[in-house]
Amino acid sequence: MNPYKIKAVLALFIFLLGGVSTSFAREENIFHSRDFWKKNPSVDQVQKEESFGSSTEELNSFGFDAMVYAILEDASMDVFTYLLSKEGNAVDKVTHDKRSYFMWAGYKGNLPLLQLLLEKGSDVSWTDIAGFNTFTFAAACGVDQVEVYDFLLANGGKITDTDSKGANCLLLLAPKAKKLYLLDYFVQKGCSIQAKDAKGNGLIAYASSMGNKEVISWAISKGVDPKLISNDGTNALFFAARGGRGTTNTLSFFQYLVQLGVNPKQVSNEGETVLQAMIRNQKDKAVFDYFLSLGVDVQAKNSQGENVLHLACKFNNSDAFSYFLPLIKGWDIANNEGKSPLFLAAENFNLEMLQILQQKGAKMNYLDGRGNDLYHLVFAQFQARKNEEFLQTLTFLDAQKVKRSEQNAEGNTLLHLAVEKQDEKAVLEALQRVKNKNVLNQNGLSALHLAAMQSQDLKVLQLLVDQGLDLTITTEFDETVYQLASENELINSNLKALQFLKK
């Protein structure tokens, strides 16, 4: 019997009993839970959960499925074999970041699974959205098993393979390498110790991203210059400043690089300083103190016209913001897009930064380079998951009586912007702040026109009609709201349901 039918029957049975069971009538796919796979379930347990309605083939919104999670949590080979027997789990199924199962097996260094997938016809030359193949992806993830690399090189991998940035396996392994013999292994296989990526970044720069002193020391012993400057004018300190995934480097590591002769006052071709490079993730004031003591210019602006205060607001770094605020001359300096730090803080819905800058006297009533006031910027950045912060920001702007333009330079009202977000909460907030709900933008479209063209369901359209928006206004091509909606493939499957759009 179809498992989905089984689920429906069980759900009805439980309803009639008046009971509730999380084991039955499950709404969520348990195979998308890493906790389930951490328990090393057997094939029988997987089949049991299937009988309750969970799918071993379904991808979640992030592009992960049962097989990927099973690989990540080191499931047993019989479970892998069972999952691969499913029609919807072809060996070259596209998953998160366009990766195949073969790539995920390489990421985990799972040699038996790699061998099984190869036998089943996996494409060994498959590349993901970052230009990684299984060989380079394994190196980038720090896989430390020589036998895995031997297998991959014997089955399609090449020592000259690179990612989309031109980094080979030696560079990719450098940040995470814990066993230096792996670096020697790659050199023996033909990698140059002086290898560089497409921008001229070398081994020490890559190792610096995650503070790997052992690799740096090894590279120096082999003749690699720690003071190397790349084609874009950066050095190893920039890599250290940006950090690696989940890694923020310490003061002692920055001091280590400076002691090696790496120039802390280096400025990139884009006008970026090391201080600016670290603002995305660095919160340690001692690190900021250190680079200022070495003479790095705190007032410097990059090629986008942004100083460290702009960047602290852009990247929502409250620690950097509070540190640099007293040091920056001029809180209203606009970047090349005409946005001051306050405008950038508003885009992040950072109420604390907004309040502090407003109290310091930062201007709130002006337009950015694209003719947006603060309200237009805030609505343009709306995200459902940040609805609370969005509402708090709007309340603050209302309380400060910030001037609000009816339309921005593109002719869009707040309602146009809210409709594009396809969220009823944003639309309701916009309706409260727009005087003319039927105004046309530069493309000759009303907010109702946009909703008809872009809606994925009828909720926002129905809300706008209920609020009295004019259904008789046509586009410059004499298209009605109904005609636009009837051409929208996401909602036109039932034209009878669109009758409310006729006038």
Say how far apart CA 205 and CA 134 lie, in whole Å.
23
The pLDDT score that the predictor gives to residue 27 is 67
- The answer on pLDDT for 433 being more than 70 is yes
DSSP string, 136-203: HHHHHTT---HHHHHHHHHTT--TT-B-TT--BHHHHHTTT---HHHHHHHHHTT--TT---TT---H
pTM (global) more than 0.85: yes
Confidence check: pLDDT of 473 > 50: yes
pLDDT higher than threshold 70 for residue 9: no
Give yes or no for residue 276 having a pLDDT over 80.
yes
- pLDDT reading at 55 higher than 60: yes
Task: Compute how many other C-beta atoms are within 10 angstroms of the C-beta atom of residue 40.
Answer: 13
Q: Which two tokens mark 170?
A: 């030696």
Share of the chain above pLDDT 70, in %: 95
Q: Which residue has the tokens 């603050």?
A: 396
